[in-house]
Chains A and B, each alone.
Chain A
């Protein structure tokens, strides 16, 4: 957790949206706990994908991080909730590195299976005027956490 000084600085300089007088405005999250404000639980939506392919990287923390950034990953805690909702999660170990590279590096748009980010991306196209395609991009330029940048660009 950030220190009290860091929290005050964040509040003062960035003024995040929060209720007036709410001193506990910095929320926390993990894969186990339920979701509440400021999160919206996409796994509780009425329409969910029927099947999710959960790719598993062929070893190595960096490979796993990049794969999760691009395709997402279903944590163990989410497996059960999805099964209850009728979503089957198919684990796909990527035994060959070229399979990993085809997902992470080539990032072909057509003919890809439904990866875990599809849960979080549901319905976003509805609110996008131009044709919406999620293009996940992750970059690691050196060895520290400050050299990792991950974001999504919705492109027309």
Chain B
């Protein structure tokens, strides 16, 4: 009996928030550093026309993945993917929050940074 890691087909979007596919692919590869046997997985671009691409079906048939997974980066990963955009948005959020606090009376509940990050990532 042989044991091996799962062979995964990675569907990586080619455009998220105007970030170039090169960066998204790189981040998807890096995110697999802790996945056992990840260097044997295969990346497929997740484009709108993926189903019409013969190359995709040829590779997918030959690769015979055990499972397919999609790369869905969280907002915190934007620090590495697009540091400028991340900083700008964080500053924008601070500005928006400050403005809303000025325009509305302060209440006991506060909006944490984590909540903001979560809502951005969905």
Contact = CB atoms under 8 A, between A and B. Distances in A.
A150 interface: yes
**How many A residues are at the interface, by size bracket?**
35 or more
B73 A35 contact: no
Contacts of A127: 2-4
A121 B22 contact: no
Nearest to B53: A146
B46 A2 contact: yes
Contacts of B45: 144-146, 148
The DSSP consensus for interface residues of chain A is mixed
A26 interface: yes
21 contacts: A13-B60, A14-B68, A16-B67, A17-B67, A26-B69, A29-B69, A29-B72, A31-B30, A31-B77, A32-B76, A41-B35, A65-B26, A73-B33, A76-B80, A81-B34, A117-B39, A144-B45, A145-B12, A145-B14, A150-B29, A152-B39
Given A16-B9, A33-B74, A144-B21, 11 more contacts: A10-B68, A13-B60, A16-B65, A26-B68, A29-B69, A32-B74, A39-B8, A41-B36, A42-B36, A75-B27, A122-B36
Interface of B: 2-6, 8-9, 11-12, 14, 20-23, 25-27, 29-40, 42-43, 45-47, 50-51, 53, 55, 57, 60-61, 65-74, 76-77, 79-80
